[in-house]
Structures are given as C-alpha cells and as structure tokens.
A and B are shown apart, each in its own frame.
Chain A
Amino acid sequence: DIVMTQSPLSLPVTPGEPASISCRSSQSLLHSNGNNYLAWYLQKPGQSPQLLVYLGSNRASGVPDRFSVSGSGTGFTLKISRVEAEDVGVYYCMQTLETPFTFGPGTKVDFK
C-alpha cells in the first residue's frame, strides 16, 4: 500500500497569515497520463470531510482561491495565502493512484 505522510501534524495559525502543509507519498502519484492522483480534504470540527483539491492541483467547486497546491510525484504542499476562521479543522491528503486509496494522518489547523 502507498503510505502517506503529512507535516506538521499540528499547525497553530494566526488569522490573516499564510499557512502551508506538506504531504509526501511512498511512491510517485504521477500517472503516465500526466495527472497526479492526489486529493486534499478538510474536515471541519464535527463535520464530514469536504473536498478541497483533486488530481493534484484542481480546486473543487466553491473552494476559495486562497487555497493552492504545488508539487508533483511524491511531494505536495497545500498553501493557504491568508487563513480565515472557516479554515480551521483537520486537513488530509489522500492518494487515489491505486487501491487501497490511503489518507495521510491529518494536519490539525487551529488558531494560536
């Protein structure tokens, strides 16, 4: 199985400041078709997960442009340009290159 790791696991942030989360995979998620099979989800407190990004860098419908993703292959970074109150929660990266799909351990983002 592909192992996903994230860092940091906890990220205290200041509203209005930038934040970034790193995600690494044990093998490349870059398919021969040019897609990176990497998705990001945010689970807000007490809620179901919600899709933020799919196929490496494509923001899902309704996701603000303050969220961006860079990287390819085995290393990816989710960046929030200016953290807002609604961004707190646990962020998970997930590989969807091969089954079983696997999630990272999650990064908890909350305010300092």
Chain B
Amino acid sequence: QVQLVQSGAEVKKPGASVKVSCKASGYTFSSYGITWVRQAPGQGLEWMAWINVHNGNTNYAQKNQGRLTMTTDTSTSTAYMELRSLRSDDTAVYYCARGRWELRDFDFWGQGTLVTVSS
C-alpha cells in the first residue's frame, strides 16, 4: 500500500535551517510528484511547493522562494524539504503528499512533521 513516512518533530532556533524527509513506499516513486503543504497551529493549509520527481523540475510559492529547497533521492524513494533562515512564523506542521501534475491531485499524504521555531 502507498505510504509516505515523514521524519520526526524538530525544534529550531530563529535563523537556523530544518530539513524534513518524506520516505515513499508502495508505488513507483519517479512516476509521481511530491508536494509540500504546511499548517500553522490552529490555522488552515498553505501550499508551499511541488517537485516533479522524474525530471527534478520544481515550482515554489514565491513567498518562500530563496529559503526553500526541495530535493529527491530516487535511490531511497525519499523527498526532502529544507527551509532556511527560520522565523517564528515558520512554526507549523509540514506535510508531504504524492501527486500527479496532470490531475493536480494529492492523493496520499504523510503523517506530518511539527517544526517549532523558538528562541
């Protein structure tokens, strides 16, 4: 069965970086893309970025551009999201999800990773 398993919770200081992993199983990793969505405490969902695993093409929300990098390792079927220069308002649960660009559907989601930014 399709599964996306994310790395554990992180606590970081302002200005630091965080790298969250998302390990996929149960499907051909390179046949789908991966998107990242975050949710601040008690708030709604915010789309952050998309990566085409097959060719590495990325699409970032402009507000995070310059601080955010997505990568994938097809040998381990793992996607990574790195966010730099962390601020307190980056505190959120970060989700990865599998998707098909042509349908723009994100059909399987990871369990979420809480990133807390605090001094």
Q: What is A's interface to B at a CB cutoff of 8 Å?
A: 37, 39, 41, 43, 48-51, 54-55, 60-61, 90, 92, 94, 96, 99-106
Q: What is B's interface to A at a CB cutoff of 8 Å?
A: 35, 37, 44-47, 50, 59, 61-63, 95, 97, 103-107, 109-112
Complex contacts, B63 vs chain A, CB 8 Å: 100
Residue from B35, B45, B50, B104 within 8 A of A92 (CB atoms): B45
Residue from A50, A61, A96 within 8 A of B104 (CB atoms): A96
Q: Which 5 A-B pairs have the closest CB atoms?
A: A96-B104, A54-B105, A100-B61, A48-B109, A101-B47
- Considering the complex, give the chain B residue whose CB is closest to the CB of A90: B44
B105 smallest CB distance to A (angstroms) = 4
Given A49-B37, A99-B50, A99-B59, decide whether A60 and B44 contact each other with a Cβ distance below 8 A.
no
User: B44–A39 contact, CB under 8 A?
Assistant: no
A54 smallest CB distance to B (angstroms) = 4
Complex contacts, B47 vs chain A, CB 8 Å: 94, 99-103
User: A49–B109 contact, CB under 8 A?
Assistant: yes
User: A48–B111 contact, CB under 8 A?
Assistant: yes
Complex contacts, A54 vs chain B, CB 8 Å: 103-105, 107
Q: In the complex, A51 Cα to B37 Cα: how many Å? A: 13
User: A49–B107 contact, CB under 8 A?
Assistant: no
Q: In the complex, A99 Cα to B36 Cα: how many Å? A: 13
Q: In the complex, A100 Cα to B44 Cα: how many Å? A: 15
Pairs across A and B, CB under 8 Å, 27 listed: A37-B104, A39-B105, A39-B106, A43-B45, A48-B95, A48-B111, A48-B112, A49-B37, A49-B97, A51-B107, A54-B104, A54-B105, A55-B103, A55-B104, A55-B105, A60-B107, A61-B107, A94-B45, A96-B104, A99-B47, A99-B50, A100-B61, A100-B62, A101-B50, A103-B44, A103-B45, A103-B47
